[in-house]
Chain A
Amino acid sequence: MKFHFKTDYDQDIRMFPDWWNFSLYAALLVLALCLPLLIDPFFLGEATNVLIWATAGLGLMLLTGQTGQVSLGHSAFMALGCYSCVLMMEANVPFLAAFLLAGVITGIVGALIAIPALKLHGVYLAIATLALAILADDIIVLLKEWTDGVNGKMSPPIDLFGYEISRWNNPVEWYYLTLAVVLMVTLFYRNLLRAPLGRAFAAVRDSEISAQAMGVNVAQTKTIAFGISCAITGLGGALMGLFAGAFNNETFNFLLSIQLLMMIVVGGLGFIHGAFLGAVVIAFLPQVLSMTTDLFGRGVAIPGLESGVFGVILILFILFEPMGLYGRWLKIRTFLELFPFARKDMFKRQKSYLKTERLR
């Protein structure tokens, strides 16, 4: 077992608490940077896909895992990020500017939508945002002058400072582009968590009443969380559309929102690691499924199998492992560190008071 001896405050404020921790993530970064040397272009494409999912998932994680607000409308914001980025690129805005602006636009629109939507709580918010996701599908079709409706759009080639990056010819560059985006998002995310705003998110998630009593403006904090969340998810959406080569309204239908939610729940709500673990699951599950159906069904396609399996996994996690894969790992690690002194009830959830009784 490791003990942290605290000698100054910076140990808690720093990004990495100690050398061991720092070396671990440094090694991970080196591995990520060397990945193109280690695997073939097909698997590199899969890795890129995982990172794109992780980007979008980090967006929803900030809202649901950190601030406690459930959204089933994030597919709409992925669409907004994607269409606004591509439309700007078609209008000859340089890729980098178009991409970042798409994030900003999605963030602002998200925050504006949040102002009325966040008056709703829990399951009502989930339903309202789900309606938004379904609506987005229709809006894309209605705006066919810009979006080309159901026919969809071809993703324009990415031109980064004169270098063209196409998925098929430059898988390595694509991978590095995505890696850069996800690293940037993770860095901002991590920085927020160790700052007053990140603590305000957690305060709103755990007790709105006492957040207020400590001076946290609950409505404003939720709106900011929604805005940042949408901005990040918008970036993920833009990457997803560009990576797909072509996209239409179906690319961003509401099932995507549900997959995104499943991803962060399975990965572990409230943990940055959770978004990455969830992304691995979501990116590889379809492959695993088609491999198993090939094995048993000899090519018989079962309609809705994928969504069905996703749903079952989500329910199983909510019932048996609400802390997700990352939570499971934390438990195993604690168990090993404390062996043989771990107690069974160490991670038990505490009963909390009913909301109606809270003020008395």
Chain B
Amino acid sequence: MSLLEIDSVTLKFGGLTAVNNLSMKVEEGQVFALVGPNGAGKSTVFNLISRFYTPVSGSITFDGKDVLKLAPHDVPQLGIARTFQNIELFHQATVLQNLLVGRHRHRQTNMISQMLHLPSVRAEERAHRHAVEEVIDLLDLQPYRNSRIAGLPYGVRKVVELGRALASKPRLLLLDEPASGLSVEETQNMRWWIDDIRRHMKITVLMVEHDMGLVSKVCDRVLALADGAKLAEGTPAEVQSHPSVIEAYLGTNAVSKGGKVA
């Protein structure tokens, strides 16, 4: 059994078929990439897994459990964490508080004991802090620990969002364009982190990424999507040289994306 199984899923927005009869399997321990031109439906696949959208047909299972039966806020409970393409942080809160929200699924105390700040609450807070501090060390976020998100540069926010997802100690991490808008060095860092996340933290990664350089360095498996349907699937090299993938890019977005496929 694969960790994540998407089976013939279709989603329509009015007349537009955003995801068209898509099937894919992500195995435990893999780093899996979804690629495709703009508007292909990659983010929509993430939003389906997060239960923000409900497909017209098909099934999604995680570790054998039916994801489609869950409410959006129950999905993280399975051990699925994600980032967003347009960065969705809690911008009035500090970096530390953002990362601590990542621990939400591990909370154990109730409202009354929290109001009274009972010893159990303090012990729990210490444990959360410890887990978050590990993430801060991994991602070198020490200088920003108590900064509010609203004043941070874009590159740092991207890392904080990754950190918030990691703080929840997920089994599956969904990264929507982790390197978009990052500088060369920042992209390099992102590459090491994804390697670390897979090797040392044993987290399976499903990512959307346009930067084929990064994809071929960190991913074992790639699925190319166009107009919501699967074009090709295989190793990065196989997918990059697949005729229909080349056609999809060169035919529609030759100027903007052509260079990246080759």
A212 and B73 contacting across the interface, CB-CB below 8 Å: yes
Write out the residue numbers on chain A whose beta carbons fall within 8 Å of the beta carbon of B88: 207, 209-210, 213, 358
B104 and A206 contacting across the interface, CB-CB below 8 Å: no
If A206-B91, A359-B52 touch, whether A213 touches B86 (CB-CB below 8 Å) is no
Which residues of A214-251 have CB atoms within 8 Å of chain B's CB atoms?
A: 214-218, 224, 228
B91 and A352 contacting across the interface, CB-CB below 8 Å: yes
Q: What is the bound-complex CA distance between A228 and B115, given in angstroms?
A: 11
A–B pairs, 17, beta carbons within 8 Å: A13-B129, A194-B125, A196-B107, A202-B101, A205-B92, A206-B90, A207-B91, A209-B88, A211-B73, A212-B50, A213-B84, A214-B164, A216-B73, A217-B73, A346-B151, A358-B84, A359-B43
B73 and A199 contacting across the interface, CB-CB below 8 Å: no
Q: What is the bound-complex CA distance between A214 and B107, given in angstroms?
A: 12
B89 and A207 contacting across the interface, CB-CB below 8 Å: yes
Q: What is the bound-complex CA distance between A349 and B151, given in angstroms?
A: 8
Cross-chain pair count, CB within 8 angstroms: 136
A210 and B89 contacting across the interface, CB-CB below 8 Å: yes
B43 and A211 contacting across the interface, CB-CB below 8 Å: no
B82 and A216 contacting across the interface, CB-CB below 8 Å: no
> Is A200's beta carbon under 8 Å from chain B?
yes
Please give the number of chain A residues whose Cβ is less than 8 angstroms from any Cβ of chain B in the complex: 43
Q: What is the bound-complex CA distance between A9 and B101, given in angstroms?
A: 16
B111 and A213 contacting across the interface, CB-CB below 8 Å: no
A206 and B52 contacting across the interface, CB-CB below 8 Å: no
Q: What is the bound-complex CA distance between A212 and B97, given in angstroms?
A: 16
> Is A287's beta carbon under 8 Å from chain B?
no
> Is B117's beta carbon under 8 Å from chain A?
yes
Shortest C-beta distance, B131 to chain A (Å), equals 11
Q: What is the bound-complex CA distance between A196 and B126, given in angstroms?
A: 12
B114 and A192 contacting across the interface, CB-CB below 8 Å: yes
Most buried by B among A217, A346, A349: A217
Q: Which of B73, B85, B116, B126 contacts A215 (CB 8 A)?
A: B73
> Is A23's beta carbon under 8 Å from chain B?
no
A191 and B92 contacting across the interface, CB-CB below 8 Å: no
Most buried by B among A203, A215, A216, A228: A215
Shortest C-beta distance, B246 to chain A (Å), equals 25
Which residues of B87-107 have CB atoms within 8 Å of chain A's CB atoms?
A: 88-93, 96-97, 100-105, 107
Q: Which of B75, B90, B101, B117 contacts A194 (CB 8 A)?
A: B117
> Is A298's beta carbon under 8 Å from chain B?
no
Other 19 A-B pairs with CB < 8 A, given A4-B146, A212-B72, A215-B105: A195-B114, A196-B100, A196-B103, A199-B97, A200-B104, A202-B92, A203-B90, A203-B104, A207-B88, A207-B91, A210-B84, A213-B50, A213-B72, A214-B76, A215-B75, A215-B168, A228-B111, A359-B52, A360-B43
Q: What is the bound-complex CA distance between A210 and B174, given in angstroms?
A: 13
> Is B260's beta carbon under 8 Å from chain A?
no
Which residues of A175-205 have CB atoms within 8 Å of chain B's CB atoms?
A: 188, 191-192, 194-200, 202-203, 205
> Is A145's beta carbon under 8 Å from chain B?
no
Write out the residue numbers on chain A whose beta carbons fall within 8 Å of the beta carbon of B129: 9, 12-13
Q: Which of A196, A214, A349 contacts B114 (CB 8 A)?
A: A196
Q: What is the bound-complex CA distance between A127 and B120, given in angstroms?
A: 41
A199 and B105 contacting across the interface, CB-CB below 8 Å: no
Q: What is the bound-complex CA distance between A214 and B72, given in angstroms?
A: 9
Write out the residue numbers on chain A whose beta carbons fall within 8 Å of the beta carbon of B93: 199, 202-203, 206
Write out the residue numbers on chain A whose beta carbons fall within 8 Å of the beta carbon of B96: 12
A196 and B76 contacting across the interface, CB-CB below 8 Å: no
> Is A270's beta carbon under 8 Å from chain B?
yes
Most buried by A among B115, B121, B125, B128: B115
Shortest C-beta distance, A297 to chain B (Å), equals 43
A215 and B84 contacting across the interface, CB-CB below 8 Å: no
> Is B199's beta carbon under 8 Å from chain A?
no
Q: Which of A215, A352, A357 contacts B76 (CB 8 A)?
A: A215
Interface residues as binary, A333-360 with B (CB distance below 8 Å gives 1, 0 otherwise): 0000000000000100110110001111
Going nearest first, the 5 A-B pairs with the smallest beta carbon separation are A195-B114, A215-B76, A206-B90, A210-B88, A9-B129
If A202-B97, A212-B73 touch, whether A195 touches B121 (CB-CB below 8 Å) is yes
B84 and A211 contacting across the interface, CB-CB below 8 Å: no
Which residues of A90-104 have CB atoms within 8 Å of chain B's CB atoms?
A: none
Interface residues as binary, B126-166 with A (CB distance below 8 Å gives 1, 0 otherwise): 10111001000000000000100011000000000000100
Q: What is the bound-complex CA distance between A197 and B101, given in angstroms?
A: 9
Write out the residue numbers on chain B whose beta carbons fall within 8 Å of the beta carbon of A350: 91, 150-151
A214 and B122 contacting across the interface, CB-CB below 8 Å: no
Q: What is the bound-complex CA distance between A217 and B74, given in angstroms?
A: 8
Q: What is the bound-complex CA distance between A353 and B84, given in angstroms?
A: 12
Q: What is the bound-complex CA distance between A205 and B82, given in angstroms?
A: 19
A13 and B122 contacting across the interface, CB-CB below 8 Å: yes
> Is B241's beta carbon under 8 Å from chain A?
no
B72: nearest chain-A partner, CB-CB: A212
A9 and B126 contacting across the interface, CB-CB below 8 Å: yes
Which residues of A1-47 have CB atoms within 8 Å of chain B's CB atoms?
A: 4, 9-10, 12-13, 15
If A9-B133, A210-B90 touch, whether A191 touches B72 (CB-CB below 8 Å) is no
Q: What is the bound-complex CA distance between A213 and B87, given in angstroms?
A: 12
Which residues of B196-224 have CB atoms within 8 Å of chain A's CB atoms?
A: none
A352: nearest chain-B partner, CB-CB: B91
